[in-house]
Amino acid sequence: MPVTTAINYDDLRRMAKRRVPRIAFDFLEGGVDDEVGLTRNDDAFRKQTLMPHYMVDAAVPKLATELFGQTFAAPYGIAPTGGAALFRRGADLMLARAAQAANVPFIISGAATATMEDVAAVARDVSWYQLYLAKNRDISRDMVARADACGFSTLVLSVDVPGKVQRERNLRNGFSRPMRPTVSAKLEALMHPGWLVEYFLGTGMSASNWEKYAPKGATPDDVLDFLSSQFPTPSTWDDVAWIRKQWPRKFVIKGVLNPDDVARCVAMGVDGVMLSNHGGRQLDRAPSPLEVLPVVRDRFGEKIVVMFDSGIKRGSDIVTALSLGAQFCFVGRWTLFGVTAGADAGASHALGMIRTEVSSVMTQIGAPDVAALGSKFLMWGDGDLQRNARN
């Protein structure tokens, strides 16, 4: 079935699930511990109600959005998703090309298979680099220098992976370093011959950005072992300080949720924060970023760019986050399901699908452009129609 027949997120999810073995799909979809965080992200959106304003000409809403002085075609981009090549060989570059064609930001993961230099060659204009700090900070300093040399406009430091966690689906499947797939996982993988051929003909899992720091002659598997020896490691405010000093352009912190941390970011000259709970993959009892978004926006919206990530499955989710105060949104699994299901075409189709949904919702609520979105389009509590007082 062609990927272009998919009409929504769930269709792409089902297509991706059919293509890859369970051990890979569970890594893509799963959360941590009891996976309460995944449900909490969904529930946070379900609790929100959009309030339409009719008699407004929003038939063709304008989605173009300025972010850090650059105009993008829409108020959303592709979040960093590590290990993408496990699901589709060359997925990082496919996502980068789709983002370039759609003129939306693409954040290359610090655990990507493609190098940052490879991504810069195909999508420099829209690409940002996500930095995962290494225990050896000299490696991190060199990565910052490489991202600068690539000409990326924005550096994103992810701070919400201070240590290893219990992703129980991975443990049950034997997805670990080193890989120890269970017998049942191996047998189930045989039901996905297309994926198996692609995986073994390619490099499989790798972390190309880390190759130059691994011991000489290291195989892709050795590089992954080296990465595991260097990451995860906690980020500190001292790290924020030296990165801010070294990095010459826009600097974003991804993974903050506590308003006190946002205040510290403002004080240290950080340009933007991305509210995120890592898609429910790190701290199972963390709040949904949607729950803290209004407070952060109210306190700091004029001082720092506030962006949103985690749990987006519908265009209405993006419209909701923007109405609650986010200035930009990022999707992860949605485009990863797309590229997994249909390679380049799937990545582009996922982005097109998102645009269609966002445009449709904005038309229905009477929002002629992104700048118009705000609290007046939200239902604030049971029976509360006094929304204008909150504008």
Q: What is the CATH number of the domain that holds 28?
A: 3.20.20.70
Residue 375 located in a structural domain: no
Residue 10 located in a structural domain: yes
Residue 275 located in a structural domain: yes
Per-residue confidence in pLDDT tens, the chain, 391 aa: 899 999 999 999 999 999 999 999 999 999 999 999 999 999 999 999 999 999 999 999 999 999 999 999 999 999 999 999 999 999 999 999 999 999 999 999 999 999 999 999 999 999 999 999 999 999 999 999 999 999 999 999 999 999 999 999 999 999 988 888 999 999 999 999 999 988 887 756 789 999 999 999 999 889 999 999 999 999 999 999 999 999 999 999 999 999 999 999 999 999 999 999 999 999 999 999 999 999 999 999 899 999 999 999 999 999 999 999 999 999 999 999 999 999 999 999 999 999 999 999 999 999 999 999 999 999 976 555 544 444 4
Task: Name 108's bridge partners.
Answer: 129
pLDDT at 357: 98
Residue 381 located in a structural domain: no
- Taking the C-alpha atoms of residue 135 and residue 285, their distance in angstroms, rounded to an integer, is 27
Residues with a known catalytic role: 278
- Taking the C-alpha atoms of residue 157 and residue 251, their distance in angstroms, rounded to an integer, is 8
Return the axis-axis angle of helices 9-19 and 333-365, rounded to nearest 10°.
170
Domain extent at residue 290 = 3-50+65-357
Residue 183 located in a structural domain: yes
pTM for this structure?
Answer: 0.95
**Count of domains for the chain:** 1
- Taking the C-alpha atoms of residue 152 and residue 388, their distance in angstroms, rounded to an integer, is 40
- Taking the C-alpha atoms of residue 269 and residue 241, their distance in angstroms, rounded to an integer, is 9
3-state secondary structure the chain: CCHHHCCCHHHHHHHHHHHCCHHHHHHHHCCCCCCHHHHHHHHHHHCCCECCCCCCCCCCCECCEEECCEEECCCEEECCCCCHHHCCCCHHHHHHHHHHHHCCCEEECCCCCCCHHHHHHHHHHHEEEEECCCCCHHHHHHHHHHHHHHCCCEEEEECCCCCCCCCHHHHHHCCCCCCCCCHHHHHHHCCCHHHHHHHHHCCCCCCHHHHHHCCCCCCHHHHHHHHHHHCCCCCCHHHHHHHHHHCCCEEEEECCCCHHHHHHHHHCCCCEEEECCHHHCCCCCCCCHHHHHHHHHHHHCCCCEEEEECCCCCHHHHHHHHHCCCCEEEECHHHHHHHHHHHHHHHHHHHHHHHHHHHHHHHHHCCCEHHHCCHHHECCCCCCCCCHHHC
Residues 6+ apart with CB under 8 A from 224: 177, 205, 206, 207
Residue 391 located in a structural domain: no
Residue 190 located in a structural domain: yes
Residue 386 located in a structural domain: no
Which residue type sits at 289?
P
C-beta neighbour count of 165 within 10 angstroms: 17
